[in-house]
């Protein structure tokens, strides 16, 4: 995949620095409106795959042989997030080739990993450039990197820095040590709500056209409920995650779906039978989307997701089928 043609609008490369290891592209801590726009687009899933940074070594400010080295992924948002938090810190940035995927996801897959780090330490000639042999990795890269192996292969010692790049200055003040708060991944309201657009777009692309068709077929109430289920699963689940009942995401999605159907019901003129059938149809849809949010959450385990899916998937399918049969049955009568 090529760097897209808009690259120069961004603050990716601002010049070059001549060093003992050759010419090194330099970058800056400046964050422009074009960078902000790119981040916004990436969040909405627009051209997500195009936000690649060329892997390799970058200089930020005027780094020397004693300056620290920070590693990151070659995804624009990861790179920007690092450099904008290095204001006033002359440093080297080592961009690993993670195929445009952020640090955490790439570490999970192993592309932000021991071998890639070792390869890029060697290929960039980092050793010749520095008088020290240490490199700072974002802590979220740890699922892919075995620090002791990197040391054994290259002699470089890996220090895990804070989860959030904004804590880097404080981390350095503490003598390159993280505090317990810096190490903890959070999943607060803001962390969750910025994920809602991607969820909404991902499912909206199927549900919104379906709702439109329902509307054109004269099934206005169903069009509204379908959109409501989409909203429940993709927006209410992230927004109210800690308040929705249970620990299971499928259950949280179902609860959000039920609230939406219940809230909309005074507007729809359904008898009880119709209401029940609709509940059985739209709650599983919200539940399904809610369960998908496990993929964006920062605390769900694979064992847990497997466990809840074994129960949730058949339950969702059964409810949906029952609801549809109820409606079909009534037509036939």
Which residues form the interface with other proteins (CB under 8 A)? 45, 48-49, 99-102, 104-109, 139-140, 142-148, 160, 163, 178, 180, 183-187, 195, 198-199, 201-202, 241-242, 247-249, 291-292, 294-309
Rank residues 65 and 185 by Cβ distance to other proteins and give the closer one. 185
Closer residue to other proteins, CB minimum distance, 54 or 183 = 183
What own/partner pairs with CB < 8 Å and gap ≥ 24 does 159-168 have? 159/134, 159/135, 160/136, 161/70, 161/136, 161/137, 162/138, 163/138, 163/139, 165/81, 165/82, 165/84, 165/85, 165/86, 165/138, 166/85, 168/70, 168/85, 168/86, 168/89
- Tell me the backbone φ, ψ of residue 298, rounded to 5 degrees: -110, 15
Q: At what angle do helices 249-264 and 220-231 cross, to 10 degrees?
A: 140
CB of 185 to other proteins, least distance (A): 4
For other proteins, the closer CB: 158 or 214: 158
Nearer to other proteins, 265 or 300 (CB): 300
Distance of closest approach, residue 305 Cβ to other proteins, in angstroms: 4
Asked if 163 and 138 touch (Cβ cutoff 8 Å), the reply is: yes
Cβ 118 to other proteins, closest distance in Å?
14
H/E stretch holding 88: none
- Tell me whether residue 58 or residue 249 sits nearer to other proteins (CB atom): 249
SS3 state at 52: strand
Q: How far is the CB of 17 from other proteins (least distance, A)?
A: 30
* Helices and strands counted in the chain (H then E): 15, 7
Closest approach of Cβ 110 to other proteins, in Å?
A: 9
In whole angstroms, how close is the CB of 242 to other proteins at the nearest point? Answer: 6
Q: Which is nearer to other proteins, 80 or 292 (CB)?
A: 292
């Amino acid at each position: 995949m090529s760097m897209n043609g808009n690259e120069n609008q961004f603050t990716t490369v601002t010049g070059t620095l001549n060093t003992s290891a050759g010419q090194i592209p330099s970058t800056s801590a400046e964050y422009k409106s074009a960078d902000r726009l790119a981040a916004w687009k990436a969040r909405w899933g627009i051209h997500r795959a195009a936000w690649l940074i060329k892997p390799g070594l970058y200089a930020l400010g005027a780094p020397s042989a004693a300056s620290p080295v920070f590693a990151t992924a070659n995804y624009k948002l990861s790179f920007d997030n690092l450099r904008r938090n290095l204001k006033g810190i002359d440093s080297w940035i080592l961009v690993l080739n993670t195929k445009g995927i952020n640090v955490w996801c790439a570490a999970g897959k192993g592309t932000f990993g021991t071998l890639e780090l070792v390869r890029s330490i060697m290929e960039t000639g980092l050793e010749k450039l520095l008088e020290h042999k240490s490199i700072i990795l974002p802590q979220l890269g740890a699922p892919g990197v075995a620090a002791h192996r990197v040391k054994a292969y290259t002699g470089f010692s890996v220090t895990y820095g804070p989860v959030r790049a904004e804590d880097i200055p404080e981390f350095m003040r503490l003598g390159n040590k993280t505090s317990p708060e810096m190490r903890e991944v959070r999943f607060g309201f803001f962390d969750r709500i910025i994920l809602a657009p991607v969820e909404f777009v991902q499912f909206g692309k199927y549900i919104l056209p379906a709702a439109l068709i329902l509307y054109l077929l004269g099934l206005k109430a169903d069009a509204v409920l379908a959109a409501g289920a989409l909203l429940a699963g993709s927006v209410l689940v992230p927004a109210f995650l800690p308040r929705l009942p249970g620990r299971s995401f499928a259950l949280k999605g179902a609860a959000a779906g039920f609230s939406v159907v219940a809230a909309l019901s005074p507007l729809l003129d359904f008898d009880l039978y119709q209401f029940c059938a609709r509940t059985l149809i739209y709650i599983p849809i919200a539940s399904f989307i809610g369960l998908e949010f496990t993929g964006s959450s920062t605390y769900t385990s694979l064992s847990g997701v497997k466990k809840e899916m074994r129960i949730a998937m058949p339950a969702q399918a059964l409810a949906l089928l029952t609801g549809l049969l109820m409606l079909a049955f009534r037509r036939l009568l």
